[in-house]
Amino acid sequence: MTSAVTADERTSRHVGLALFALATGGFAIGTTEFVTMGLLPQIADGVRISIPTAGHVISAYAIGVVVGAPVIAALGARTGRKRLLLGLMAMFVLGNVLSAVASSYEMLMAARFLTGLPHGAFFGIGAVVGSSMVPTNRRAWAVSMIMVGLPVANIIGVPLTTLLGQKLGWQAPFLAVGGLGLLTLVAVWFWVTPQPVGSETNVRSELSALARPQVWMALLVGMVGFGGMFATYSYITPTMTELAGFSTTAITLVLATYGVGMTCGTLVGGRLADRALMPSLYGGLVAVTVVLGVFGWMAHTKPTALIAVFALGFSASILIPALQTRLMDVAHEGQSLAASLNHSTLNIANALGAWLGGVVLTAGYGYEWPSRVGAALAVAGLVFAIISGLMDRRTAKSGVTQVTA
């Protein structure tokens, strides 16, 4: 005789399905973001442009992320979060379909910009929704479950869609991702519970997050700390071929190793952040600093290079759930905006890190040096995190003093 399913089991199963639906959206977003990099030659031939010009297609997507995250989160403040998630995924599907049918460079640029617009807002609002469905002591875990779709995309989604694009044409991956986005839309519709918007929630309440110094401190931590990681990752292919001696065909293995590290780091980071949020943030930044500090040395042999690549993905991803949860904590009424801004910040970090890494290479230094510049950026991120923690202590001490008085 089978036992009856308890209410707690039904609730747990429902939460699991909702988080899976949001993670699937993250997987689709991660796939479309990175597959373009592997198909630049085919895209360039398809719309009759040079490969460097085709690189602007990647920039168009990144600009869409930076612009879309804060604008959509703020203007959508009065929209129910489930409805907003559905609208964002519909926009994502449309952008990918338009990318697939684009017949000119200008149309493709516009389509990629449109596709990037929902990126940050989906992750930010999804994090707020996911964390609201679990007990307070499991919020960072819920965030990590949503964010894990992004690194898994680097392990599975990007290689498979790149292969698909090489076999069937560069348009095929965008159609495939559009189909995955459609499945996500259906899953969110059925599995994510509607969340009514409070009467006090509006554009002004979301924008109030920007008046909080701790929000800016958290964004600075992400911008500078992750900039260090991107200073290295942006040049990972030439670093691995020039220093470690990997063939160009083996770079897929290197990138998959990085993706596995990211996945493990995201899952571990969620657990650590639930136990001790700020210490896990400090520890993650220390780990990134150490890994980047020795990366150039370890990159000179294949076995140690793979260990370093895994460690880079692992240490950097530990920060993601902690930073996302920290932003939601310090934003108060503006959680959706602050959580969405985190992804705009990561794209700025990408640009900052790639630029600084390029500066040292242009100056004539070897491929050991971008990671050393990255280590300096990670130290700066750690300094900002410590200052933020000290600000928390001062505020808490001031509150205790006022109560005692």
- pLDDT for residue 362 is more than 90: no
Q: How many domains does the chain have?
A: 2
- Boundary residue ending a domain (176, 197, 218): 197
Tell me whether residue 6 is in a domain.
no
**Claim to verify: residue 186 and residue 205 sit in the same structural domain:** no
Asked whether residue 213 is domain-assigned, the answer is yes
Amino acid symbol at 128: V
Residues 271 and 152 in one domain: no
Mean pLDDT across the stretch 221-242? 86
Per DSSP, 240 falls in state I
* Domain hosting residue 108, numbered range: 11-197
The answer to whether residue 170 is domain-embedded is yes
Rounded-to-integer distance, Cα 363 and Cα 271, Å: 42
Residue 4: pLDDT band with limits 50, 70, 90: very low
Cβ count within 10 A of residue 200: 8
Of 197, 230, 264, the position where a domain reaches its end is 197
Return all residues near 233 (Cβ < 8 A) that are at least 6 apart: 258, 312, 353
Higher-pLDDT residue of 301 and 72 is 301
Report pLDDT for 5.
44
Q: Which of 197, 232, 248 is the last residue of a domain?
A: 197
Same domain, residue pair 191 and 206: no
Residues 125 and 211 both lie in one domain: no
Q: What is the pLDDT of residues 147-199, one digit of tens each?
A: 898 889 888 888 888 888 888 999 999 999 999 999 999 999 999 988 776 65
Q: Are 48 and 165 found together in one domain? A: yes
**What average pLDDT does range 63-76 have in this prediction?**
84
| Residue at 295 is within a domain | yes
| 116 and 237 housed in the same domain | no
List b or e across 18-41, with b for residues whose CB sees 16 or more CB atoms inside 10 angstroms.
bbbbbbbbbbbbbbbbbbbebbbe
pTM score of the predicted model: 0.80
369, part of any domain? yes
C-alpha separations of 35 from 252, 262, 332 in Å: 12, 17, 36
Please indicate, yes or no, whether residues 204 and 191 belong to a single structural domain of this protein.
Answer: no
pLDDT confidence of residue 1: 37
Does residue 221 surpass a pLDDT of 80?
Answer: yes
Residue 58 belongs to a domain: yes
What is the pLDDT confidence band of residue 249, given thresholds at 50, 70 and 90?
confident
Q: What is the pLDDT of residues 320-350, one digit of tens each?
A: 899 988 988 888 777 878 878 888 888 788 7
203 vs 360: which has the higher pLDDT: 360
Residue 93 and residue 110 share a domain: yes
CATH number for the domain harbouring residue 154: 1.20.1250.20
Q: Examine the pLDDT at 38 and tell me if it is beyond 80.
A: no
pLDDT at position 202: 63
Same domain, 134 and 222: no
Same-domain status, 42 and 187: yes
405 has a pLDDT exceeding 60? no
Asked if residues 114 and 91 have their Cβ atoms less than 8 Å apart, the reply is yes
Query: Do 109 and 251 sit in the same domain of this protein?
Result: no
| Whether residue 158 is found in the same domain as residue 228 | no
